[in-house]
Chain A
Amino acid sequence: MSGFCLSGNSCPAVKNILILDSEGKRVAVKYYSDEWPTNSAKLAFEKSLFGRTLKSNARTEAEITIFDSNIVIYKFVQDLHFFITGGDDENELLLATVLQGLFDAIALRLRNTIDKREALENLDVIFLCIDEVVDQGRYLKQMQMLLQERWQSKTWMLQQHYPNRQ
C-alpha cells in the first residue's frame, strides 16, 4: 500500500473495513493503512476491538468509539459485526456514511438476509462490495449507479452458483 498517504485532513480516508462474526473471527477484512503491518498486528487489533465493542448495542443505530486513537464506527446485524476505522480527526458522520454505504450494498445483494452463513456462501459478493465502496482507502461507492446492471448479472450468478437454493 505504497500509495496510501493521509495528506493532512484534506481528503477523507478509511483505514480499514472489518466484517467479523459473533466470535470475533474474520469473515472479510480489508486494510488500507500500513498502521498494522503484520497479520498478527491486524488480528490483535481485531481481537481487542471486538472485545471492546462486544457488549454494546449497535443493532438499530451504528455505534462509535475511539480506539487506539482511531475512530471506529460499528454496526451489528444478526451474527455479523461490521467495523470501519478512520483517523481521529476524521468527520465521524462521513465515516458513518461509508459504513452505511457498504451495509446497504451488501443488504441489497444478499436480499436483506444478512448473517454469517449467507455472507460466507456469498463471500464473492462481500468482496466485491468492499472493493466497490472503498478504493485504497478512498471512499468510492460505485455500486448504486451500477446496481441495475450488476443486479441482473448477479441474480444470474447466484442461480448458477447455488441452484438448490430457493
Chain B
Amino acid sequence: MAQPLVKKDDDRDDEVDYSPFLGIEKGAVLQEARVFNDPQLDPRRCSQVITKLLYLLNQGETFTKVEATEVFFAVTKLFQSRDMGLRRMVYVIIKELSPSADEVIIVTSSLMKDMTSKTDMYRANAIRVLCRITDGTLLTQIERYLKQAIVDKNPVVASAALVSGIHLLQTNREIVKRWSNEVQEAVQSRAALVQFHALALLHQIRQNDRLAVNKLVSSLTRGSVRSPLAQCLLIRYTSQVIQESTNDTQTGDRPFYDFLEGCLRHKAEMVIFEAARAITELNGVTSRELTPAITVLQLFLSSSKPVLRFAAVRTLNKVAMSHPTAVTNCNIDMESLISDQNRSIATLAITTLLKTGNESSVDRLMKQITNFMSDIADEFKIVVVDAIRSLCLKFPLKHRSLMNFLSNILREEGGFEYKKAIVDSIVILIRDIPEAKESGLLHLCEFIEDCEFTYLSTQILHFLGIEGPKTSDPSKYIRYIYNRVHLENATVRAGAVSTLAKFGAMVDGLKPRIFVLLRRCLFDNDDEVRDRATLYLNTLGGDGAVVETDEGVKEFLFGSLDVPLVNLENSLKNYDPSEKAFDINSVPKDVKTQPLAEKKATSKKPTGLGAPPPGPPSTVDAYEKLLSSIPEFASFGKLFKSSAPVELTEAETEYAVNVVKHIFDGHVVFQYNCSNTIPEQLLENVTVIVDASEAEEFAEVDSKPLRQLPYDSPGQTFVAFEKPEGVSAVGKFSNMLRFIVKEVDPSTGEAEDDGVEDEYQLEDLELVAADYMLKVGVSNFRNAWESMGVDFEHVDEYGLGPRDSLAEAVNAVINLLGMQPCEGTEVVPPNSRSHTCLLSGVYIGNVKVLVRLQFGLDGPKDVAMKLAVRSEDETVSDAIHEIVASG
C-alpha cells in the first residue's frame, strides 16, 4: 500500500490541511509505476499510481525524456487489464505524456482494438487518444473507423470523432475533408451535442468556400437545429454570411436578419444573447434593426446572474461607442448597476453611462462615481478616467465638475499608469477647453507639490513653462515651481529651473524676481542645475538690466533643436577652438551621421590638436599625471581606465589599504593606497606581494615599493602586470602587504634603528570584464543605435533566474557590464513587469559599444533578459555577450 494512503486513515481527522499527496516525490512515484509491469495487475493500485503521476504533472513537475518514455511503456502494459476505470485513466495519461511518433506504434494496435470495441466508452476515448497522438500515415489506416464513428448511433462516440476531426483539420485538412458526407449526416443528428460538433466541423471544412457556407446557412436557418449550442454557431456563421453579402445587396432588407431577430425569442439565454450581439455587430446597423436586440439586452441587465448582466452591459458598452442614442433607454437599469457587487460590471456600466449620458446627468453621475472609485483596481480606473475625458470634451460647460473630479482622484493613492492617465487627461482638457486652463494648471501645480514620479513632475513643469506665462496672472505659479527647486531630486530641479527661465523670458514684469530665484540656483549641488541657471541668467540678461528678451534668444533657449544631437556632438568634437565661433548651422541635419571610420579618427585626434581629451573626469587626469611621473610605467602608453578604489582591508584595522586598478592597452597597474593607523609604528620598504596564480594571462613586470609609511600619512605602492594586448583578460589576485616595522617613541617621534620584517594579509582583488569598459554616455541613444548599424549586432536571450525584483536584476547587469545607463533607463518603475535599459560605453581598444537590455518577468520571480549589443567591432559584441553569459 502506498505510504500516503496508509497515513490517511490515521491522520485524516486530526490534520486540517490534510492531503493524500502530502510529501509525494517524483522518484518514489516513478518507482511505484513498476506495478504496471506485474503479471497480476491490481487495477486499483495502478489507478492510484496513475493519479499520482497525473498529480505530479499537474503541479508543474516535468518528466525527463527517459522518465516519460519509461512511464509510457509501462502504461501500455495496462491495456491487458479489463478494468474500465483503469482504462479511462490509461487514456488520460497517454494524452498527458504525448508520446513521440516512434513510441506511438506501441499503443496503436491496442487503441485500434478499443476503437472497434463493443463498449461505447472504449470507442469514444480510443478515438480521442488516437487522433491526439497520431500522425498522417496512421490516420489513413484508421480513417474508415473514424467515418463510421461519426455516424455512430451513440452520440458520445460520434462527438468524440467529430471533435477529433476539428483538431485534425489543422494538420490533415485533405483527409478530414473526405468525411463531408458523414459529417453532413451527423448535422441532422437528434443528439444536441453531435449536431453542435458536426456543424462546427462542417463549417470549418467549408469555410473557404463562400458559396457552400451560404448554402449551409440558408438550409439550416429554416429550422432544423435543435441544440442551443449549435444554434449559437449557426448565428455566428449567419452573421459572417451577412457581413460578406451586404455589398451585393445594398437595397432592400438585409438577408437573414429575420433569422437573427427570430433567435431573440429562443428559449435559451445563450442563443438570445448570441443573436443580440450578432445584430449589434452588423455592418452599418440601423436603429430599427438595433431596437429588438437592445430590448432583450436591457432585460438581461436586471438578471440575477452576474454572467448575464456582464454579457449584456459589455455588449451595450460597445454599442454606446457607435450608437449612443440607442442605448439611452437602458440608462436607468444601467445606473443601478453602478452599485453592482461585481466591479467589472460596475465599471462597464459607468463607462457606458458616461458615453450615453446627457449634460444634465453629469453632476449626479460624478457623485456616484466618486464613491465607486476607491474600490476598483487601477486598470478599471484608467478606463473611467478615459471615459471622463471624452465626456468633458463633449460637454465643455461641465468642465468645472469634471476637472474637480480628476484633481480629486489625482490626490488619492494610485500607480504610475493611473496617475499618468489622469495627468494626460487634464493636459488635454487644458489644451482643448480654454476656460478650464487656469483651474487645470493649478490642479497640476498642487499635484507636483506631492508627486512621487519624477517623470510626471518634469512633464508637468515643462507644460507649465509653455502654458503658465500665457495666463492672466503668471506670478501665482512661480511659488509652486520654485518650491521644486528646494525639495526635489536633480532631474526635477533642472526642469524647474528651465520652467522659471521660460516665465522670465516670456513675462517681462517677472524678470527681476526670476533672476533673483535663478541666482539662488547657482549654488545648487548638481552640475546640470547650476549650468542651466548660469546659461539662463547670462542669455536673458541677468545683469540687472530689465530688457525685453530678444526673439533670437527665445528661439535659442526654448525653440526646438532641429539638428540630431549626435551630429551636434560630432561637430563639436571636430570643432577647432579658434577665433571663429562655432556655427550651429554647420551641423549636418540628416540623421545618418558620418561613416564610422571618420568618427574613430575624430575621437583619437584631440590630443594632437591640443584640445582636452573628450570627457575624462578630473580624477583620471590626476591618475594619468601620477602614473606618467613614474618612469617604469611611462612606456605603457595611454591610460585607458582607472577603477574606483576597492578596499582590501576592513575598516579600522591597523593598516588600511585600498587599490585602484589602472588599465592600459597591454598592461595593468595596481595602485595600492596604504595608510598606517598606529602612531607607535613606522613602516619601511612597503610592498605588496601579489600572487597571480589564479590570473594566468598576467605576468608581473615591475613593482614600485614605498620607502616609508609613517603614521597618518598615506602613501602608494605600485605593482605592474603585463597582459595580452587589447584583450579583456580577467583573473583573481591575492595580496600580501610586506614591510619592515620599526617602533616609534611617541614622546620624541624618533624611530628605533632596528626593524622587524612583518606581513599583513590583504583581501583578494579581482580584475573583471567591467574594468575594461569605460562609462561613456550618449545623448540620444536611439540615434546612436541607428547610426551604429546592424553590421556587428549580436542578440541573444538569457534567463537570469529568480531575482528579488526587476530593479535588482537590472542593476546587477549594469554593474556586471560597467556601462553607462542612458536616458534614465536604469530606473525601474515600481510594479512594472518588463523594462528596457539602454547602456553605452567604450571598450578597451577604444571601441564604442551600445547595449539594449530588455528585461521581463517570467513568472513571479524569474527574470528573463534579451541582450542586444551593437559595436564597431564584432569581437567586442561577442565579448559583451561572453561577459553576461559567464557573469
A-B contact list, 5 entries, CB within 8 Å = A26-B60, A58-B306, A64-B306, A120-B19, A154-B85
Interface residues of A in 34-86 (CB under 8 A from B): 38-44, 47, 52, 56-58, 61-66, 73
Chain B at the A interface: SS class:
helix
Q: How many residues of A contact B (CB 8 A)?
A: 63
What A residues does B121 contact at CB under 8 A?
A: 146, 149-150
Are A127 and B51 closer than 8 Å at their CB atoms? yes
Q: Are A145 and B306 in contact (CB under 8 A)?
A: no
Tell me whether A65 and B342 are in contact (CB under 8 A): yes
A93 B859 Cβ-Cβ under 8 A? no
B193: CB under 8 A from chain A? Answer: yes
Q: Give the contacts of A1-56 with B (CB-CB under 8 A).
A: 2-3, 5, 7, 9-12, 26, 28-30, 38-44, 47, 52, 56
Cα separation A147 to B33 with both chains bound (whole Å): 29
On B, residues with C-beta under 8 Å from A are: 8-9, 12, 18-21, 44, 47-48, 50-51, 54-55, 58-60, 62, 84-85, 88-89, 91-92, 95, 120-121, 124, 128, 132, 154-156, 159-160, 163-164, 166-168, 170-171, 191, 193, 196-197, 200, 203-204, 207, 229, 232-233, 236-237, 240, 269-270, 273-274, 277, 304-308, 310-311, 314, 341-344, 377, 857-860, 862
Among B60, B154, B204, B307, the most chain A Cβ lie within 10 Å of the Cβ of B307
A124 touches B51 (CB 8 A): yes
CB-CB under 8 A for A11 and B233, given A3-B171, A40-B860, A123-B54: yes
Contact of A3 with B341 in the complex, beta carbons under 8 Å: no
Q: Among B92, B128, B341, B857, point to the contact of A128 (Cβ < 8 A).
A: B92
B270 — which chain A residues lie within 8 A by C-beta?
Answer: 91, 93-94, 97
Contact A157 to B47, CB < 8 A, known contacts A3-B168, A136-B132: yes
The complex places the Cα of A40 from the Cα of B8 at a distance, in Å, of 31
| Cα(A135)–Cα(B201), bound, Å | 14
What chain A residues lie within 8 Å of B54 (beta carbons)?
A: 123-124, 127
Chain B residue nearest to A122 in the complex (CB): B51
Closest chain A residue, CB of each to CB of B93: A127
B101 CB, min distance to chain A CBs, angstroms: 13
Contact for B269 among A38, A93, A120, A142, CB less than 8 A:
A93
Q: How far is the CB of B189 from chain A (nearest CB, A)?
A: 12
Known: A40-B859, A128-B88. A10 touches B204 (CB 8 A): yes
A160 CB contacts on chain B under 8 angstroms = 44
Do residues B85 and A92 form an inter-chain contact, with CB atoms below 8 A?
no
- Name the B residues within 8 Å of A153 (CB-CB): 84-85
On chain A, the residues within 8 Å of B343 by CB distance are 65
Q: Once bound together, how far apart are the Cα atoms of A121 and B19, in whole Å?
A: 8
Which residues on B sit within 8 Å (CB–CB) of A135? 128, 160, 163-164, 167
Identify which of A47, A92, A117 contacts B860 (C-beta below 8 A). A47
Bound: A29/B59 CA distance, A: 8
- Which residue on chain B has the smallest CB distance to residue A136? B167
Complex CA gap A3/B135 in Å reads 12
Q: Does A131 contact B (CB under 8 A)?
A: yes
Q: Judge whether A64 and B344 touch: CB under 8 Å.
A: yes
B273/A146 in contact, CB under 8 A: no
* A7 pairs with B306, CB closer than 8 A: no
- B163 adjacent to A57 (CB under 8 Å): no
Given contacts A62-B305, A92-B311, A120-B20, contact A145 B44 (CB under 8 A): no
Chain A residue contacts of B167, Cβ below 8 A = 3, 135-136, 138
Question: Is A93 a contact partner of B858 (Cβ separation < 8 A)?
Answer: no
Q: Within the assembled complex, what's the spacing in Å between the Cα atoms of A56 and B306?
A: 11
Given the interface pairs A91-B274, A135-B128, the reply to whether A10 lies near B200 with Cβ below 8 Å is yes
